[in-house]
Amino acid sequence: MGGFTLLVYAHDYPADVAGLVLIDSQDLPPADGATPQPAPQPGGPSLPALLARIGLIRLLAVPLGSFENLPEGEKQAYTAFAVAPRGVQAYLDEGMGMSEGGAQARAVTTLGAVPVIVLSRGNDQDAKHTAAQTGLLQLSTDSQQRFAGQSGHSIHLEQPAAAVAAIVQMVEQIRRQPMP
């Protein structure tokens, strides 16, 4: 879901963005002409956050998570955050803003020459997702696509070396650019 935020930020604050690495960014929702509904405002803790308080979410953490490749200590830390009430509530709050965030991201039609690397999953591809990932390349005149061949959507967890390599490539590319 972070891809929406990155696109809008890069568009609205171009002087603050040297380059983007979009790691299997969510597909932008189709433009249906409808006015996006404002995101619901979070009230008190949600039912899932309350269930997290009593430990029920922790019991479901392994079936719901995709972090098997993490070292044991990091896996425990990730699980602890993901099942904590604040982690569960943050995930739900972010989901509530998906419609509005998607509409804002869809309105971004160009980032000019800002370098963009689109790192796409290699597993679980379908025609719609492939087209959406390719469409992200059209946002910049300086874009390229890479693939994490052994990963699904959670590249940062399933094939972290691919995510790191894309980020390092972007940093090196930016450092080679002449200073303004």
User: Exposed e or buried b for every residue in 71-95, given b needs 16+ CB within 10 A?
Assistant: eeeebeebbeebbbbebbbeeeeee
Secondary element (H or E) of residue 156: helix 155-158
d(CA 11, CA 140): 11
On the 0-12 / 13-18 / 19+ scale of CB atoms within 10 A, 166 is buried
For residue range 20-32, list pLDDT tens digits in order: 999 998 766 555 5
Please name the residues in contact with 3: beta carbons below 8 A apart, sequence gap of 6 or more: 22, 23, 25, 26, 105
* 69/12: higher pLDDT: 12
- Give residue 58's pLDDT band: very low, low, confident or very high (50, 70, 90): low
Tell me which of 71-80, 98-107, 110-119 is least confident.
Answer: 71-80
Mean pLDDT, to the nearest integer, of 147-171?
90
What secondary structure does DSSP assign to 118-136, as a single string? EEEESSS--HHHHHHHHHH
Could you give the 3-state DSSP secondary structure of residue 93? Answer: helix
d(CA 32, CA 75): 40
Backbone torsion region of residue 33, taken as left when φ is above 0, otherwise alpha when ψ lies between -120 and 50, otherwise beta: left
Report the percentage of the chain scoring pLDDT > 90: 35
Cross-strand partners of 118? 22, 145
For residue range 106-122, list pLDDT tens digits in order: 899 999 999 999 999 88
- Give residue 144's pLDDT band: very low, low, confident or very high (50, 70, 90): very high
Per-residue pLDDT at 87: 78
Tell me which of 2-6, 21-25, 54-58, 86-90 is least confident.
Answer: 54-58
Q: Which amino acid is at 76?
A: Q
